[in-house]
């Protein structure tokens, strides 16, 4: 059976055949180059959603495309019955870039979180002092598996999936509530350095330092979810670096694959040794093509100075957004190029108005516009985005 690839037919088929988990834009994506995304009708959009923080290098960066093609010609899949150079090289690179020294590769952020939660429980089991409870924050987002859902602090993502893992949810940035929730029964605390999906709320340095201290006092493990903050977006390689803390476990994904499915759980060898052969695994995790894309992406971020670029362009763009001539803008917050624009009213109509004008941005809750530009967006593109957003706000 053949189908016709025009927008109306595809949208109709999507409606009948796709599980209705997504409220999607009216257009169908065709192709992209850098910060530009094109739909099937040939309309161009300036993509400041960045595939929800995935496209740190924009769309189809030539270095990433080359790496993917070369690897695909060599070998596409090996299984984890043997390793391959890309797997080892990507682990090595992540060890160089983070506070960890032991890496497990996954296909997504949720799977990285799942590995982290399993590691935490297994670590305490292995020591003969079992702990199964977790502490996380209200309004957080950590992914879609049952484990990740358990530590996600938003009702709409949890509802109907119980029973979930025993997790205490505490208000974000509340030091006393967090200190009170952590004791010797808690396997791990899970925290985003900046709540992304929940509306771009930056954890204070004092908060992250207090969590770290309380975790040390109680031997509780600290899992920092860098899935959205990682890869340079905040103006440092990883969000935790801003606060001078050393997490026990990091979860990474999104940007580090340059658009291919790459996730990672990074920890220390002394903790991961409880993951003995057979105790955890993934068929596709560390796939050669994904690893090649990941390595190329991290190399471009490093060699083109995009972490520094995220810091400087982010500061400039945030400053500019603070001067938006609209009384609807309540607050502009974030770090680097992870930016939230909080409005006095609903954000959805502004997102839609921006799209109609050719700018793609996303939401972070009902009143927050989430802006996640490619780290290599040009000054001209930032200017264009600003003009389109200002116009959308006055619509
Ligand atoms: C996107 C996201 C996840 C989930 O990642 P998936 O790849 O969608 O499974 C987890 N944590 C945070 C902070 C995220 O932004």
The string of DSSP letters for 23-42 reads ---SS-EEEEEBTEEEETT-
* Burial of 329: CB neighbours in 10 Å, binned 0-12, 13-18, 19+: buried
Question: Would you give the DSSP letter of residue 255?
Answer: G
Tokens in use for 120?
Answer: 């935490």
Q: What is the Cα–Cα distance from 193 to 244, expressed in whole angstroms? A: 12
- State the pLDDT at residue 305: 98
Q: What is the DSSP string of 294-347?
A: HHHHHHHHHHTTHHHHHHHHHHHHHHHHHT-S-TTEEEEEEETTEEEEEESS-S
CB distance 194 to ligand 1 below 6 Å: no
The reported pLDDT for the residue numbered 325 is: 85
Count of other CB atoms within 10 angstroms of residue 140 = 22
Structure-token pair, residue 137 = 């924050």
The whole-number pLDDT of residue 4 equals 85
Decide whether any atom of ligand 1 lies within 6 Å of the 114 Cβ: no
Which residue(s) pair with 354 in the sheet?
none
CA atoms within 13 A on the CB side of 228: 31
Give dist(CA 155, CA 169) in Å, integer: 11
SS3 88: helix
pLDDT at 1 (0 to 100) = 63
For position 180, what pLDDT does the model report? 98
Decide whether any atom of ligand 1 lies within 6 Å of the 350 Cβ. no
Half-sphere exposure of 206 (CA within 13 A, CB side): 4
Among 105, 142, 334, which residue has the most ligand 1 atoms within 8 Å of its CB, making it the best to mutate? 142
Token reading at 121: 């429980």
CB atoms within 10 A of CB 352: 14
Residue 369 alpha carbon to ligand 1 centre in Å: 18
pTM, full prediction = 0.98
Residue 315 CA to ligand 1 centre (angstroms): 24
- Residue 351: the pLDDT is 98
Count other Cβ atoms within 10 Å, centred on residue 335. 22
Print pLDDT tens along the chain (395 aa): 678 889 999 999 999 999 999 999 999 999 999 999 999 999 999 999 989 999 999 999 999 999 999 999 999 999 899 999 999 999 999 999 999 999 999 999 999 999 999 999 999 999 999 999 999 999 999 999 999 999 999 999 999 999 999 999 999 999 999 999 999 999 999 999 999 999 999 999 999 999 999 999 999 999 999 999 999 999 999 999 999 999 999 999 999 999 999 999 999 999 999 999 999 999 999 999 999 999 999 999 999 999 999 999 999 999 999 999 889 999 999 999 999 999 999 999 999 999 999 999 999 999 999 999 999 999 999 999 999 999 999 98
Strands in 133-137's sheet, in edge-to-edge order, are 102-106, 263-267, 249-252, 221-225, 186-191, 133-137, 167-170
Q: What share of the chain is helix, strand, coil (3-state, %, to 5)?
A: 40, 20, 40
Q: Is the CB of 192 under 6 A from ligand 1?
A: yes
Q: How many CB atoms lie within 10 A of CB 76?
A: 10
CA pair distance 372, 33, nearest whole angstrom:
16
Nearest to 6 by CA among 31, 38, 45, 41: 41
| Residues tagged active-site | 141, 225, 254
Cβ–ligand 1 contact at 225 (below 6 Å)? yes
Ramachandran sector of residue 359 (left: φ over 0; alpha: ψ -120 to 50; beta: rest) = beta
Q: What span, in angstroms and rounded, lies between the C-alpha atoms of 48 and 372? A: 5
Q: Which residues 6+ apart lie within 8 Å of 308 measured at CB?
A: 235
Given the CA of residue 143, which atom of ligand 1 is nearest to it? 4
Ligand 1, residues 53, 107, 194, 228: which to mutate, most atoms within 8 A of Cβ? 228
CA of 192 to the centre of ligand 1 (A): 10
212 SS3 class: helix
Give the Å distance between the CA of 47 and the centre of ligand 1.
19
Kind plus residue range of the DSSP H or E element containing 230? none
Q: By three-state DSSP, how is residue 221 classified?
A: strand
């Amino acid at each position: 059976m053949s189908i016709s690839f025009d927008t109306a037919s595809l949208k109709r088929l999507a409606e009948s055949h796709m599980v209705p988990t997504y409220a999607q834009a009216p257009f169908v994506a065709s192709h992209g180059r850098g910060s530009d995304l094109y739909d099937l009708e040939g309309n161009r959009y300036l993509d400041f959603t960045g595939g929800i923080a995935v496209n740190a290098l924009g769309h189809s960066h030539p270095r990433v495309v080359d790496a993917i093609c070369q690897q695909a010609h060599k070998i596409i899949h090996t299984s984890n019955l043997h390793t391959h150079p890309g797997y080892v090289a990507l682990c090595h690179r992540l060890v160089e870039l983070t506070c960890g020294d032991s890496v497990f590769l996954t296909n997504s952020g949720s799977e990285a979180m799942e590995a982290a939660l399993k590691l935490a429980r297994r670590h305490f089991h292995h020591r003969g002092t079992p702990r199964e409870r977790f502490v996380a924050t209200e309004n957080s987002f950590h992914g879609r598996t049952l484990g990740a859902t358990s530590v996600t602090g938003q009702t709409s993502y949890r509802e109907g999936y119980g029973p979930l893992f025993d997790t205490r949810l505490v208000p974000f940035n509340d030091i006393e509530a967090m200190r009170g929730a952590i004791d010797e029964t808690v396997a791990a605390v899970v925290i985003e350095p900046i709540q992304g999906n929940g509306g771009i709320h930056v954890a204070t340095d004092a908060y992250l330092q207090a969590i770290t201290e309380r975790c040390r006092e109680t031997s509780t493990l600290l899992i920092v979810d860098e899935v959205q903050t990682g890869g340079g977006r905040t103006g440092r390689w990883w969000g935790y670096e801003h606060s001078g803390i050393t997490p026990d476990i990091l979860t990474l994904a999104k940007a580090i694959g340059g658009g291919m499915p790459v996730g990672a759980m990074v920890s220390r060898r002394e903790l991961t040794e409880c993951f003995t052969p057979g105790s955890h695994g993934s068929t596709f995790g560390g796939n050669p093509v994904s690893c090649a894309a990941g390595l190329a992406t991290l190399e471009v971020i490093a060699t083109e100075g995009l972490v520094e670029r995220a810091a400087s362009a982010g500061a400039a763009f945030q400053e500019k957004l603070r001067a938006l001539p609209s009384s609807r803008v309540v607050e502009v917050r974030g770090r680097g190029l992870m930016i939230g624009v909080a409005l006095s009213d609903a954000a959805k109509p502004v997102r839609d108005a921006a799209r109609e004008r050719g700018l793609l941005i996303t939401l972070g809750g009902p009143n927050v516009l989430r802006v996640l530009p490619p780290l290599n967006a040009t000054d001209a593109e930032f200017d264009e985005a600003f003009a389109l957003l200002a116009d959308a706000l006055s619509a």
